[in-house]
Amino acid sequence: MIPISYTTSKSELYPLLDQLSGIYFHGDSLDAYKQKKFEKFFGYVLTYAFEHNHGKSDYFPMFMLGSTLQTFIDNRAPSDQGILTPLPLYLVNNNVKLRTTIDPVKSFMLDEL
């Protein structure tokens, strides 16, 4: 994993992305994603990935987690479609019991938790 600052200019960013096999955006507070510099950086990466995935034979995945994914969906989904709905209050800032679909002993999915 190689960190890239969101203050990196487009002219510096694209040569860096050319050397990578994908990009990972970790989750952060929503305040971080409302910064204009971050929005511009995210837009550069999104444009790069779109052009790379549609115009070339190679694949450049974007992995988004938490607030990054929510921000992406918020900005791309029409607001009148009701795609995102608020969480019920009992789920906000509360621990919930983890429900697994298979026996955890038979799965490696939760090994790192």
Q: Which residues contact 44 (CB under 8 A, 6 or more apart)?
A: 10, 13, 14
More confident position, 78 or 39: 39
pLDDT at residue 13 tops 60? yes
What pTM value is reported for the model? 0.62
**Beta-ladder partners of 48:** none
Residue whose C-alpha is closest to residue 63's, from 38, 46, 82: 46
What is the tally of helices (H) and strands (E) in the chain?
4, 2
pLDDT at residue 32 in the model: 64
The pLDDT-based confidence of 10 (bands split at 50, 70, 90) is very high
User: Which of 42, 46, 24, 23 has its CA nearest to residue 32?
Assistant: 42
- Give per-residue pLDDT as tens, 38-73: 888 888 988 888 888 776 667 788 888 877 777 777
Cβ–Cβ under 8 Å, residues 73 and 84:
yes
pLDDT of res. 109:
57
